[in-house]
Amino acid sequence: MITKTKNYIQTHKKISIGGGVIILIALYFILSGGNNKAETLTAERGSVVEQVILTGKVTPADEVNLAFDRSGKVSGTYAKIGDEVYVGQTLVTLDASEVSADYAKAQANVATEQARLDELKRGSRPEEIAISESEVTNAQTALANAEDKLRTSLYEAYSKSDDAVHNTIDQLFSNPRSSNPQISIQINDTQLKNDINNLRYQAETLLTTWDQNPKSTSRETIVDISSKLNMVKMFADKVAGAVNALSSNSSISATTVDSYKAGVSSARTNLISAQNAISTAEEKLNTSKSVLLIAQKNLTLKKVGTSAEEIRAQEARVLQYDAQVQAVGAQLGKMTLRSPLAGIVTKQDAKRGEIVSVGTPVVSVISNNNLEIEANVSEISVGKVQIGNPVAITMDAFPRKTFNGTVTYIEPAETLIDGVVNFKITIAFSEKYPELKTGLSTNLEIKTAEKMDVVKIASYAVTTREGKSYVTKKEGNKNREVEVTTGFRGSDGFVEVLTGLTSGDIVVLTGVKK
């Protein structure tokens, strides 16, 4: 697309088809020598046209180079160079197995959260309420059993303490239930002996005041009985220390010593078992209370229904997971190149199995119907060209046809061509021409201005002296030079005459002779 030289443009401003013929005829008369007979022209009413003559090239109105915004392995190509494609047609795809799995997972998450939201909005069904009521009943039963178990453990704590003291350890004492019990076995440690005697007295007092069948399972009751049990256990431990130090002699046989040791050991084991039973039963009771409380709260929630806050929170979760689906879906969509326009593939560099890089164009598409012309206008003529100017278009490929177009764009920045300032313009065809193809060279006649229905005459018929214009007007058999006022001067070789001539006046070309 090049602009013709200044001389070419200026010459073509002065030459139209009709004007050119007139000039050639005049030159013929001058060069032929002639017979001194003056030639004439007739002033006529018509149009004076200004044109800018250019050359240009047909280009596609739309052209795109497509690239992936992420790297990956090409899994398929679906169009080759020269293929016609439609808008949205798949051209190249990347391996999307990993992204597809993420997309399926995101969709499943949305479905799960949506189901939960639907459930919250629906509220509890009668069957669910019945299940919760059953859970409460079971928890109440478990709590009652735990309380019974704890009562049994508290009762057994007394019975095992009583058995340990009265049935097992008392055989080692004289007057065990008196105010001054005395252990009867040999104990060399005086302090230990005194401690045992004192503890036996305290144990008697404790067993006398002990509630043998406690009704309460309160924390206070548990602490009280556990304290008593621990005191008996301490007494048994002291006695075990004395018995374990005992050895047979002339006054006590080994069999007796062994029976003492076995009896005290069994008593201590029973006391430890009672302590563990109370601890376990209390823990079970606390757990049962917690389970019952949770079951009761769940039943209450199911009967009351879901709160608005819970529904809004779940709706937010659905939106959150839905956004993940959209994000992964967008990534999945980027694994496919689709044609954004209907046209023809002009480049296809993707090959199945190869790795493509981010931003590297692999496919190019041009529009096959929307064609336009690009041309360059010199700085001398660009001021005359305006958007909307009509254009007559001819091409060497179609010598007998003239196409119509319109100037649609003038680039604001200059383009240097061989050091000469030019401005790129775009010309759109007035209609679709299926026979046209990109790359064709064009000859352009841009009509930049036109004055219609004016008196005009060939511009070479006007002479100028001292800033005034004159023509030689034929009046009958005489010729008279008259001053004229000229107006708009066209590039077609004609000039508008404002005053001095009217349509039909004959003008003598005095400077042109045969």
Superfamily of domain 6-61+370-513: Efflux pump adaptor protein, beta barrel domain (2.40.30.170)
Q: Which two tokens stand for residue 446?
A: 């841009």
Please compute the mean of the pLDDT values over residues 493-502 and round it to a whole number. 90
**Residue 14: is its pLDDT beyond 70?**
no
> Domain 66-95+335-365, what architecture?
Beta Barrel (2.40)
Place of tokens 């042109």: 512
User: What pLDDT does residue 513 have?
Assistant: 40
Q: What is the pLDDT of residues 206-265, one digit of tens each?
A: 999 898 888 888 999 999 999 999 999 999 999 999 999 988 887 889 999 999 999 999
Residue 11 binned pLDDT confidence (cut-offs 50, 70, 90): very low
Q: Which two tokens stand for residue 304?
A: 């009351």
Lowest mean pLDDT among 328-332, 444-448, 509-513: 509-513
Residue 217, Cβ neighbours under 10 Å: how many? Answer: 18
Q: CB burial class (10 A; 0-12, 13-18, 19+) of residue 114? A: middle
Please compute the mean of the pLDDT values over residues 362-372 and round it to a whole number. 83
Q: Which two tokens stand for residue 157?
A: 């704590």
Q: What is the pLDDT of residues 156-186, one digit of tens each?
A: 999 999 999 999 999 999 999 999 999 999 8
**Residue 38: is its pLDDT beyond 90?**
no
439: left (phi > 0), else alpha (psi -120 to 50), else beta? left
Q: Which two tokens stand for residue 250?
A: 């002339």
Q: Can you give the residue ranges of every domain in the chain?
A: 6-61+370-513, 66-95+335-365, 104-123+306-331, 127-304
Residue 34 binned pLDDT confidence (cut-offs 50, 70, 90): very low
Is 481 strand, coil or helix? strand
- More confident of the two residues 16 and 147: 147
**Predicted structure pTM score:** 0.44
- More confident of the two residues 512 and 140: 140
**Residue 2: is its pLDDT beyond 70?**
no
Please compute the mean of the pLDDT values over residues 406-416 and round it to a whole number. 92
Residue 369 binned pLDDT confidence (cut-offs 50, 70, 90): low
- More confident of the two residues 5 and 511: 511
Residue 19 binned pLDDT confidence (cut-offs 50, 70, 90): very low
Quickly list DSSP for 244-256: HT----SSS-HHH
Do the two domains 6-61+370-513 and 66-95+335-365 of this chain adopt the same fold?
no
Contacts of 494 (CB under 8 A, 6+ apart): 16, 19, 46, 48, 49, 456, 457, 458, 459
Q: What is the pLDDT of residues 46-89, one digit of tens each?
A: 888 888 999 999 988 788 899 998 889 999 999 998 888 999 99
Residue 213, Cβ neighbours under 10 Å: how many? Answer: 8
Q: What is the pLDDT of residues 113-147, one digit of tens each?
A: 999 888 888 777 888 889 998 999 999 999 999 99
Q: What is the pLDDT of residues 195-221, one digit of tens each?
A: 999 999 999 999 998 988 888 889 999
